[in-house]
Each structure stands twice: as structure tokens, then as C-alpha cells.
Chains A and B, each alone.
Chain A
Amino acid sequence: DGGITQSPKYLFRKEGQNVTLSCEQNLNHDAMYWYRQDPGQGLRLIYYSQIVNDFQKGDIAEGYSVSREKKESFPLTVTSAQKNPTAFYLCATQIDRASGHTEAFFGQGTRLTVV
């Protein structure tokens, strides 16, 4: 069953704790992205990766970290340095730019609540 799997769907953490959000894909897509969405807001880019072992900061990278050790996986760590981490986090993939297919496919999202 092909797709993008984000886990868990809901996550609760205490303030000051780091937390890692999982994103796994079996679509064999090269590019992967992490976006943050706040209520009534658009999608803000946190980090993105075009190939394995390489990633770039997006518009709101402060307080977050990522890794891309495997093509299939792009985990996002929300650190204690992130001032307001409560949000809906979306992982997305793209096929590859060279093919011209640049539409993004999204996971179901993880809703993180920090208390």
C-alpha cells in the first residue's frame, strides 16, 4: 500500500521536552518536506530535502532539526528551543524535479500539543 505515513496522529508533550515526528514514504520520491500549519493559517516550510544526506532550512527552521539518512525517511525533531511548538505538522513528498512532476503528496499529519 503506497503512501506517506506520519506517526503518531496525535502527540502530547510537556514543555521543555524534545519530540520527534516520524515521516516514512514508500513512493520512491526524491524530495521530502516538513510544513507547519497553525489554526486558520497557511503552510509554513520548516525543512526540506532533495536527496539523501542533504537538507535545507525553510522559512521557520529555528527550534527544529531533521535528518535524511534514508530516502524513505525524514524525521522532524521539535526541540525545547521552539517557542510555540503546538501546531499541525505535515510531511510531504515530490517525485523529482527532473521529471517535471512537481506536485506534492501529503501525509495525514501529526497534531502536536505541548502542555
Chain B
Amino acid sequence: GQQVMQIPQYQHVQEGEDFTTYCNSSTTLSNIQWYKQRPGGHPVFLIQLVKSGEVKKQKRLTFQFGEAKKNSSLHITATQTTDVGTYFCAVVGDYKLSFGAGTTVTVRA
């Protein structure tokens, strides 16, 4: 099945700063999804990207799909304590949904 690598595994951010997490694949992806899991909770769908070079924004979150459709990024501006959690990318392939290992974000107030 398709495998995606997420980096970094952990991200410690000062409140108010920006950060980016990346999702990389060795193969071309048909689409990519992003999820957020709050501590103690379950993953919640954020967005799906389908087109090459696609950029979508949700308030302070910017999602991008690479031109070659082999990587994706999530950029958060002006980090807040509500951004704490683990962010996963996921790919749909071979009739199954596979997740990356996630980036766990902690915020220093």
C-alpha cells in the first residue's frame, strides 16, 4: 500500500509563532487528507486535497498539495494553545485509508 512519511514527529512551538509539518510520499498520490487528534480524543477530518499545486485555507491553517502530488504541507500561523494535538496526513489507495505517523504539536504559552 501507499506509505507516507510525516516530519517532524514532534513540534514544540512558542505561542504566536508559525510552524509547518510535512507529508512525503515516494509515489504519486491521487489525493491527501489531513486530520487532527486532540489529546485523549479521536482523529477529526480537516481537509482533502486532490489537485496538483492545490492550496486551501482554514483560518490560520494553510494546506498545500505539491505540484508532483508526492508531498503535502500544513502551515499554521500564530499558533494558539488550541492547536495542541497530533496532525495526521492520510492517503486513499488500494481501497483503504492509510495514515502517516503524525506530528505531535505542543505549545509554550
Chain B positions 63 through 90: 1 when the CB is less than 8 Å from some CB of chain A, otherwise 0:
0000000000000000000000000101
* Proximity bits, A27-61, B CB within 8 Å = 1, else 0: 00000010100001111010010100000101100
- How many of chain A's residues have a CB under 8 angstroms from any CB in B? 24
Chain A: interface secondary structure?
strand
Q: Tell me how many residue pairs across A and B have CB atoms closer than 8 Å.
A: 58
B33 lies within 8 A of A102 (CB): yes
Q: Is the CB of A33 within 8 A of B88?
A: no
A104: Cβ under 8 A from any B Cβ: yes
A45 and B96 contact, CB distance less than 8 A: yes
Instruction: Assign chain B's interface to a size class.
Output: 20 to 34
Q: In angstroms, how far is the closest chain A Cβ from the Cβ of B98?
A: 6
Q: Which chain A residues border B42 with CB–CB below 8 Å?
A: 90, 106-109
In angstroms, Cα B101 to Cα A41, docked, is 6
In the assembled complex, A69 has its CB within 8 A of some CB on chain B: no
Q: From residue B80, how far is it (CB to closest CB) to chain A in Å?
A: 23
- A112: shortest Cβ distance to chain B, in Å? 15
Chain A interface residues (CB < 8 Å from chain B)? 33, 35, 40-43, 45, 48, 50, 56, 58-59, 90, 92, 94, 97, 102-109
